[in-house]
Amino acid sequence: MASLFSAPARCFFCGRGLFGRYCVSALGVPFCEAHQDIAACRFCGAPADAAEPTAELCAFCVRDAVLTRTDSAREIPGIRDEMHRLDLRLNVPVRVRLADRAQMAQRGGHQNTAGLTEYVADHVVSITIVKGLVRRQFGATVVHECMHAWLVQNAFPPLSDRICEGLCQAMAYRYLREHRGEPRAKLLMERLRDDPDPIYGDGFRMIRDSAVKNGFSTVVDTVRRTGRVA
């Protein structure tokens, strides 16, 4: 959500000088108060650029977005290496596909679904990520979905949604923490910590609190043995 400040600057959207009250995006990008009627960037809240491919991002964020298979192919190797450093290795590799929001809905997602993992028994069929996520959001979503895949491939017992999503959010947070010096990663970490959702947010905080006491690997081992969080 954009907020109002009082200091001189220049609007990134129209280029006009800003005097008196104006808005600032979640990433600190200033813009005219009058532009609040324009559709907001899905990531930072600045005015979205109608000319960009999804019309959901501002000109600032679209330059960092993963929009094509080429973009995805460029990012995946580095994400995979980081997953391995976090001891997240899939038993069987799974291809990551991109889809637009309409295609995500056809696969069972909803308006805000960023990723989906489809599986049958212990076989992971596919991981699908929505187009238009900024790089670190894309990376965190891939890591989240790969954690789902890892849980399936390693035959974890049936888990509550809160435990399952909490584990996946915790792994995504660990990935983001490696990039905490970057503004977008820092913002994503804040959003994850403060998420009011009773499954994703509460689940993450439950796993985090247990990991602080016992260590993340111990939490995972306990869940694998008992289906519960100590």
* Percentage of the chain lying above the pLDDT 90 cut: 81
Q: What pLDDT shows up at residue 185?
A: 98
Count: domains in the chain? 2
The pLDDT score that the predictor gives to residue 53 is: 59
Question: Secondary structure of the chain in the HEC alphabet?
Answer: CCEEEECCEECCCCCCEECCEEEECCCCCEECHHHHHCCECCCCCCECCCCCCCCCCCHHHHCCEECCHHHHHHHHHHHHHHHHHCCCCCCCCCCEEEECHHHHHHCCCCCCCCEEEEEECCEEEEEEEECCEEHHHHHHHHHHHHHHHHHHHCCCCCCCHHHHHHHHHHHHHHHHHCCCCCHHHHHHHHHHHHCCCCCHHHHHHHHHHHHHHHCHHHHHHHHHHHCCCC
| Entry pTM | 0.93
Looking at the structure, do residues 131 and 166 belong to the same domain, yes or no? Answer: yes
Residues 35, 85 within the same domain: no
Look at residue 9 in the predicted model and tell me its pLDDT: 80
* Residue 51 confidence (pLDDT) above 80: no
| pLDDT tens-digit map of 140-181 | 999 999 999 999 999 999 999 999 999 999 999 999 999 999
User: Are residues 128 and 39 part of one domain?
Assistant: no
* Mean pLDDT along residues 96-114: 88
Asked if 160 and 110 sit in the same domain, the reply is yes
Same domain, 30 and 92: no
Residue span of the structural domain in which 212 resides: 65-226
Over pLDDT 70: what percentage of the chain? Answer: 94
